[in-house]
A = this chain, B = another copy of it.
């Protein structure tokens, strides 16, 4: 083993030395156009700060019609835009609803403007035109030239402190605008409160508080300038009732403290002598005192290049966990996927350990770093299983963060979709449960299994939440009592199965039985007549009318019955029996990938669009992410192999509009990472990885346990996509899945590929991924 390890190290070292490094393959612009909802700015792995340009800030109005454009700006940036509004410090990676965009700074020259202006008339505000030729993005680094002001901007960051470098022209009228009314998914009223102080000529502190996707969110900040401010304006664009302030002071000029709903500031500098101004912006969810401590601890100097270099090293460490050899294009997509996979969740505690809890109290855990941004309906599928392989320490901290969420929750349940000390209740299911189950099944250390189990059971039994009471009573969620009932029933059943799995492992027979039975609830909504899963009402009858192609009002969320019916990842064999046998499934899948959805069905959901579809199969959204791997459960693995290559080639492109759907906090990326390597966690918590078709020549996975897995793909080419044979540590594998041990213990996996479908590979029932029900 040691020899192999050494050899592999030499090989990978050689690979790195000879070519572009993995770091250089990352292109943060991928996904910034159209549907990806990624952002190009500076971030370090799992950092609290995501410092990135906004190309527009779109309002949706209070109490009025929803402005559909706001969806495009979930990450604040659209590649096709021609202007930059400013640089804000918080962004989600690839979400389909949004929030954040906090603490927007914009350097300007000349007349002070405190409104962003419009993209049609950029001169009407502080925004500036820019050109992609003058724009650069690398992990942890971003730069752009602002044409309207002739300012060069460079951005980098640490975990909690954004770092700006502005090269102004030589002028007496250099300004840095701070717009505390700016935000993503903004509306008039979203800013609940803002508070700002000019502590001295170089230091600003403050916070703002928003009511958006997160209902009650606080962002504290400390801003330090490398040059003293010459003068400043802290404006509040609203009428105030009590006049004690305005009777005593001229608050509009050089008055050092303001608070209100509509705070916009200009800090003015003379850049005639020194035209470089550096700005550090530290964030905290706790207090301005902590923001200052974060600032002084993480960047105690003004060496911008040093922080750029540190950010690069942090990314190198993460990116080098999996090194691959494949085409240049795929390398770009792969390392960019690795990059996107490691942005959210993000750290949500300060350097002193303190963080804001879900109950808005301040906590100080002793043993772990607190994380937030849990897009669990998306990420439990492949992103967290990727973490249980190559982010084990963080997985433990993430689960500890979920456990404290459970403890702090007034409902005493685990997170659903949570960010910044808030539960936003987005999407469905209790998918923190499979994340925890996957970690327990894979023996991740560092959290309390008993408490975690308790939290899982409590979450699965919280009747108030989204039809759970009904689900327990009826064995399915009745559509007349709780909408999207079919999707919920299917996902609860899977989640329940993962509780069964850990109950069994932890020797809890009672719960094992209870949740085993619950996990079979998926059968209760299967309609033998149509052959699909269907929404049922509380009277037991299936909802009518039924249209298996429609996403609207069919009891499914962001998917139609054709796709969603396949969601029984914990009992695919049971599902096969239910629908009438393997052949039925094969033809279902075949038709799924080929049937062209009629035009009229598009536009029913933001997340189901033509660009993310192959036939009627939706890759741009999550519920079908396991589907291409289902052929393995029928013996027709070669069809999985074919589809994987098709999806990899059609749905991921190394360009700004190259993502076929929202990256969804890394889930879309995690699918790509697994699939390129040749296997996928179809059933989280099962400890099985279903074999697909590797899209690489070789790979090395470096685990935190010090072990290394080498993947060699012999005879691989764009045409040779079918598996001849698979060897694990030299021994021929006679099944179409890997076990977790085979991966995590390191060693060598060798795929041998061929040009034509190998229709004999793993056709025996015993070689299939096994049925997970008793």
Contacts and interface: CB of A to CB of B under 8 A. Distances in A.
A411 interface: yes
Interface of A: 60, 62-63, 187, 189-190, 192-193, 195, 197-199, 205, 207, 209, 211-213, 215-216, 239-242, 244-245, 247-249, 254-257, 259-260, 287-289, 359-362, 410-411, 417, 424-426, 464-466
A288 B360 contact: yes
A23 B334 CA distance: 80
Contacts of A211: 193, 240-241, 259-260
B256 A205 contact: no
A415 to B, nearest CB: 13
Contact of A244 (B60, B247, B256, B424): B424
Nearest to A195: B216
B195 A360 contact: yes
Nearest to A63: B239
A417 B245 CA distance: 12
B287 A361 contact: yes
A410 B199 contact: yes
Contacts of A425: 244-245, 247-249
Contacts of A254: 464
A256 to B, nearest CB: 5
A197 B198 CA distance: 35
Contacts of A216: 193, 195, 259
What are the 5 closest A-B residue pairs judged by CB atoms, nearest first?
Answer: A244-B425, A197-B410, A289-B361, A257-B410, A256-B410
A300 to B, nearest CB: 21
Nearest to A193: B192
Nearest to A484: B247
A378 to B, nearest CB: 15
Given A63-B241, A248-B465, 18 more contacts: A60-B241, A62-B241, A189-B241, A193-B193, A193-B211, A195-B360, A197-B359, A211-B260, A215-B259, A244-B424, A244-B425, A247-B425, A249-B425, A249-B464, A257-B410, A287-B361, A287-B362, A289-B362
A69 to B, nearest CB: 16
30 contacts: A60-B241, A187-B241, A189-B241, A190-B241, A192-B193, A195-B360, A197-B359, A198-B410, A205-B359, A207-B360, A211-B260, A212-B241, A213-B244, A215-B245, A216-B259, A242-B424, A244-B417, A244-B425, A245-B425, A247-B425, A248-B465, A248-B466, A249-B425, A249-B464, A249-B465, A255-B464, A256-B411, A287-B362, A289-B361, A289-B362
A287 B361 CA distance: 6
Contacts of A417: 244
Q: Which residue among A242, A425, A464 has the maximum number of chain B CB atoms within 10 Å of its CB?
A: A242
Number of copies of this protein chain within its complex = 2
Contacts of A255: 464
Nearest to A239: B63
Contacts of A239: 62-63
Contacts of A288: 359-361
A197 B417 CA distance: 19
A362 B362 contact: yes
Contacts of A199: 410
A190 B240 CA distance: 10
A101 to B, nearest CB: 15
A414 to B, nearest CB: 15
Contacts of A424: 242, 244
Contacts of A289: 359, 361-362
A60 B256 CA distance: 29
Given A198-B410, A209-B193, A464-B255, A360 B287 contact: yes
A62 B239 CA distance: 8
A409 to B, nearest CB: 9
A640 B509 CA distance: 91
Nearest to A483: B247
A334 to B, nearest CB: 34
A18 B62 CA distance: 69
A187 B464 CA distance: 35
Contact of A242 (B197, B212, B245): B212
A188 to B, nearest CB: 10
Q: Which of A187, A209, A244 has the most CB of B within 10 A?
A: A244
Contacts of A361: 287-289
A206 to B, nearest CB: 9
A244 B195 contact: no
Contacts of A259: 211, 215-216
A607 B466 CA distance: 58
